[in-house]
Amino acid sequence: MYQALKPVFVAAAVLFSAAALSQEYVTIDMEIDINKPAAEVWEKVGDYCAISEWLGLDCEITSGDGGMGSVRALLGGRIIEIMVAQTELSYGYTQPAVEGEFYNLYHGFMEARPVTDTTSKMLYTLTYDVSNLADQAAKDADIERRRGMFTNALGAMKELAEAD
């Protein structure tokens, strides 16, 4: 039976290899200095649905308690994100594949990092596949759009964290 299916396995392996080679992952690193200790910053902006305050997106926890493995629905469920990493001052999330849509393996990670006893940095990193975009200009535009959106979010986090 294996001999009869061998051409199918070879064809599938070639297609899989071509698809894997066509992926083009980008990482966008952003950060902002905050004049508050990291623990205080995280207390104000680190809740899994605090995204509604600093990015202006409606958020609902649809599964879990807001910790590791929790699922949040943004924009009325149009965006689903699962928390896949968590520490005392950070979390990471991913967006699952949606049937019929290009899967870009989108991941985000945010962290309040201590700098001194009274200051910190808020870091936000995005990683995703841009290989579905038409050309380099479209890729660059997408990266800059996301960088702008999350740079604004970091500014909102700073404002929230530094408010008394």
Nearest to 49 by CA among 32, 25, 66: 66
Give the pLDDT confidence score for residue 19 in this predicted structure. Answer: 54
Per-residue pLDDT of the chain (164 residues; tens, 9 = 90+): 445 544 444 444 444 445 556 899 999 999 999 999 999 999 999 999 999 999 999 999 999 999 999 999 999 999 999 999 999 999 999 999 999 999 999 999 999 999 999 999 999 999 999 999 999 999 999 999 999 999 999 999 999 999 98
In order, the DSSP letters of 85-147 are: EEETTEEEEE----TTS-----EEEEEEEESSSS-EEEEEEEEEE-TTSSSHHHHHHHHHHHH
Domain boundaries, the chain: 25-162
CATH code of the domain made up of 25-162 = 3.30.530.20
Chain segment 144-162, per-residue pLDDT in tens: 999 999 999 999 999 999 9
Rounded to 5 degrees, what are φ and ψ at 54?
-100, -10
Q: Are 153 and 124 a contacting pair, CB within 8 Å?
A: yes
Q: Quick one: tokens of 34?
A: 């905050």
